[in-house]
Every structure is written in structure tokens, then in C-alpha cells.
Amino acid sequence: MATKSLQKSGSDLANSNRQIEILSNGIFKSGELPTFKAKISETNQFPLKAKKLEILQINVGYMCNQVCDHCHVDAGPDRKEIMTRDTMKQCLEVIKNSGAHTLDLTGGAPEMNPDFRWFVEEAAKVGIKDFIVRSNLTIIRANKKYYDLPEFFKKHNVHVVSSMPHWTRGKTDKQRGDGVFDKSIKALQELNAVGYGMPDSNLKLDLVYNPSGAFLPGDQMSMEKDFKKALLEDFGIQFHNLFAITNLPIARFLDYLIASENYEDYMYQLVEAYNPSAVANVMCTNTLSISWNGYLYDCDFNQMLELPVNSKAKHISEFNEELLEGRNIVISQHCYGCTAGAGSSCQGVVA
């Protein structure tokens, strides 16, 4: 179990160029992978183009109370990158003036940004259709100052999307650290207690499942059925949807794949599961990812690899919806992760 971020531990994988070099050149004993560009060209889907903007995903900082083994953000308590109120104000202007209907706050643990509540309150006034906060659940139980988060979320009609690796303690704690399962269960019960996740409730509570190791997620619908049955029977917990997400081979998950000698097999798994019909709906085509310091990316993964948007508008202060629409999406080998099987995005499967 990791205790520090790659950045803090001085790993060469903290360097995005090093990650791209590994992804691009491979380190295979046998054969080589086709490029993602070649693969999508087979079905005339290159270049991948951005469609109309629907979702603004804002990463308000990489600080987190957890150090999960798979984290593609390399988040942790030692990460100090945090969005300032000034940058948040620029984001609010964009939210008001763009056609995006969904606002998706992520991190790290977004709740750890000191201006998080201010931002939620201001953003809630703008009248966005779906206002998502990606919560790791344990933050709700981490410290007294967060205990009222369920009520705060309810007050602003926030759509809570929470990570939950498995319905058993062993698999959850293995990925996220000792004690995470029990705290997550308690947090889910508290969210249920204020009305989140109930079948007839408008207070949306969705869970995110991503595998604990070097394998792909199973069928989302079957997994949701298993999660719902186990969490209800064992803990009386209810939730709405389960999003099954594929781990992308970047940052700490890439580090794990290489250290455990699973990298080659995992990349082949992704390529063998490549589904051309998933390409049309990958999240980068209708989403814009904004980093803690206001730079624009096609997705959260490109943000971590420091691959900025291919547009004249590169920063939130230069936001121009017309300029960004139709841009060529920046791709690399990690994109196989979003097109494997039924496809993967922050909203679950895409095909």
C-alpha cells in the first residue's frame, strides 16, 4: 500500500514525459502494440473531434486524505496543488456563459480545497442541470469539520459520485488503505440518512467501481446488481447507479503495472478488448477538463500527462467555446483504456 505520492517519493514516473515515453515506446518482451491512432484510423475515426461541450470537469486540487494504489492523479496528503478562488471565479464565468449542462468537481478530495464550499454555493446559483461532486467518502468521516458534508450536499442539491472499490472489506482496503471500507460504509449510511440514494429520491448517489488490480472491470449492470444486493443485505445501504471504470495505465497505476510485471499483459488486454463503437462516445468528445491552475485539457487523464488541448485557447481565461468545438482531441496509447470492452468514462460505460 502506497503511503506517499510518486512525486513525493521522487519516482521518475512523477514526470509525465517519462510516462508518455513508456506508453509510446513500450517495454514489451514479445511483439508490439498497434498505435491508438492506427486503430481508430481503421474505422475512419481519426482525428477524433470534440463535439458540443456538455460537461465541465474541474479539478480543484490534487490534495487527498487517501493514497490509493491505482490513483491516476497521484493524489495524496503531500500534494499541495490547489485551485485558488481567483481561478474558481474564472471557472464560474465560463459556467455561466457556456452551453455545458453538467459541472463535475473532482480532485484529489475536492472537499479539501479551502474554497470548496464557497465554490459549490456560487456554482449552485448558476442553475446547472447536473452538479457532480466526486467524493472519496472517507473525507466525510476524516475530521469533524467534514461531518456535515451530507447536509451541505443536500442543501445545494449536489449529485454525489463516490468511489467504492468493492462490497467486501478485504478488496476495498487493499486498494485504498486499512480502515477505508468501514469509514466508507459509515459515510454511505450518513448520506442515506439525509435522503441520498433512496429509490424515489432526487438526491442522486452513484458509486464508482474500478478494479483493484491488473484486470478490466466486469459488466457494469451485473456489477451494479451484485453491489446493490451485498450493500443492502449487509449494511442497509442504497444507491442509484454504479459506474464501472477501467484503470488507465498512467501515474500510480502505471507504476503498479510495471512493478508487478503486469504492464505488457495489461496493455494487450486493453488492445484485445478495443471496441471501435466505444470511440464515438468517449468522454473527451463532450467534456473539457480544467486543471487546478486553470489550464484546459481534453480529459482528466490528459491533464495528468500534461497534454494540453490542441487549441489557441489553452487556459480558462482564454475560454472560447467556438474555438474549442471541433478541435482535434489529443490521443496517446492510454486512450485504449477508454475504448476497451463497453468503453469507459467518468460516467461509466459508453457503448
Partner 1 sequence: MSKPYYDSADLRKFGNITEWSEELGNKFFDYYGKVFEEGALTAREKSLIALAVSHTEQCPYCIDAYTKDTLQRGVTKEEMMEAIHVGAAIKSGATLVHGVQMMNKVNKLDG
Interacting residues with partner 1 (CB under 8 A): 29-31, 166-168, 170-171, 209, 211, 213, 215-219, 222-223, 226-227, 265, 268, 272
CB of 54 to partner 1, least distance (A): 30
- To partner 1, the closest distance from the beta carbon of 245 in angstroms equals 13
CA distance 228 to 293: 38
Q: Nearest distance from residue 275's CB to partner 1, in Å?
A: 15
Half-sphere exposure of 127 (CA within 13 A, CB side): 4
As given in the structure block, the three cell numbers for residue 39 are 486503430
Residue closer to partner 1, measured from CB, 147 or 215: 215
**How many Å from the N-terminal Cα to the C-terminal Cα in the chain?**
33
Smallest distance from the beta carbon of 67 to partner 1, in angstroms? Answer: 23
Whole-number Cα distances in Å, 198 to 50, 195, 240:
35, 6, 7
The least CB distance from residue 209 to partner 1, in Å, is 8
Q: Which is nearer to partner 1, 119 or 167 (CB)?
A: 167
Q: What is the DSSP string of 54-87?
A: -EEEEE-BSB-S---TT-SS--BTT---B--HHH
Q: For residues 333 and 204, what is the distance between their CA atoms, to the nearest angstrom?
A: 34
Distances (CA, A) of 314 to 50, 193, 266: 15, 43, 33
Decide whether 166 or 327 has the Cβ nearer to partner 1.
166
Nearer to partner 1, 168 or 320 (CB): 168
Nearer of residues 226 and 318 to partner 1, judged by Cβ: 226
Minimum distance, C-beta of residue 226 to partner 1, in the bound complex (Å): 6
Closer residue to partner 1, CB minimum distance, 241 or 310:
241
